Structure 1
């Protein structure tokens, strides 16, 4: 739990925040949610599908953007890297939240 808290606070290095928490874990959570959503829809359980599809993904996606944004604020390298990480995290999480 301490890594998750560090991610939320922006205490992680930008590369770990973006590539590990936003891209890898974010895509995994969203992919699993999509599989659960489609499975529940095929079983004609729309309310459960709605919960499975959005109850975990949207809060995580918001947290991923905030954690990456905060890590980017503390990034000591070129500002273009921080700006690209911010933009990519917002775009990726927005697309995954809508799907």
Structure 2
């Protein structure tokens, strides 16, 4: 039974924080444009640049190679998550724009893993 006056209520507590952020993207509830442009291309790329830069500093400090590689590859699971989230959301959305975003996310993932 719906309670009157709750139409504009805030999302449930389960949709707040990191778990809510990840859940919304995995379930395709985040807008595709936001997921692709802001979350993946802008934030994801910034995380990758920061990780690579930190790895280069660690390499310059002559720290163990395993540590340098671990820091460099740390964002890969998040990159895979974002790419799959874009694909899941784009499949639900449909259309040419969604297909281009699927292609773009696959190319972005390849670029972030190789670079």
Quote the RMSD (CA, aligned, Å): 1.2
**Structure with the larger RCO, 1 or 2 (CA within 8 Å, 6+ apart):** 1
Structure 1 stretches of 4+ with a deviation exceeding 3 A read none
- Superposition deviation, residue 3 in structure 1: 2.0
Q: Which of the pair is proportionally richer in helix?
A: 1
Task: Point out where structure 2 has 5 or more consecutive residues left out of the alignment.
Answer: 1-17
- Paired positions, count: 96
TM-score, normalising length from structure 1? Answer: 0.90
Structure number with larger C-alpha Rg = 2
**Is 1:44 the counterpart of 2:55 in the alignment?**
no
- Superposition deviation, residue 9 in structure 1: 2.1
**Is 1:15 the counterpart of 2:69 in the alignment?**
no
Task: Point out where structure 1 has 5 or more consecutive residues left out of the alignment.
Answer: none
Q: How far apart are the structure 2 equivalents of 1:10 and 1:66?
A: 10
- Alignment partner, residue 98 of structure 1: 114
